[in-house]
Amino acid sequence: MARTSPAQFVRQVRQEASRVTWATRKDTGVATIMVFIMVFLASVFFFFVDQILAWGVQLVLGLGS
């Protein structure tokens, strides 16, 4: 493997960074909102699943009666 000098490495990094297509501000905002919505939906789902499982365990073991 060929060794590169630090200066050549920096040039290569800058060249690769110039090829990157960055997300727009709007795309980033939409993606952030979608993440918050999915986190909310997942938390509601797991809350209800947890409540159902807790109710089932109490029913089977007779706890809390």
Reported as a single tens digit per residue, the pLDDT across 6-48 is 999 999 999 999 999 989 999 999 999 999 999 999 999 999 9
pTM summary value: 0.65
In total, how many domains does the chain have? 1
Domain contains 57: yes
Look up the domain containing 57 and give its range.
25-65
- pLDDT category at 64 given cuts 50, 70, 90 is low
- Decide if 12 is inside a domain: no
17, part of any domain: no
Which position has the token pair 């109490």? 58
**Cβ(37)–Cβ(29) below 8 Å:** no
Cα–Cα dist 34/46, whole Å: 18
Residue 31 domain flag? yes
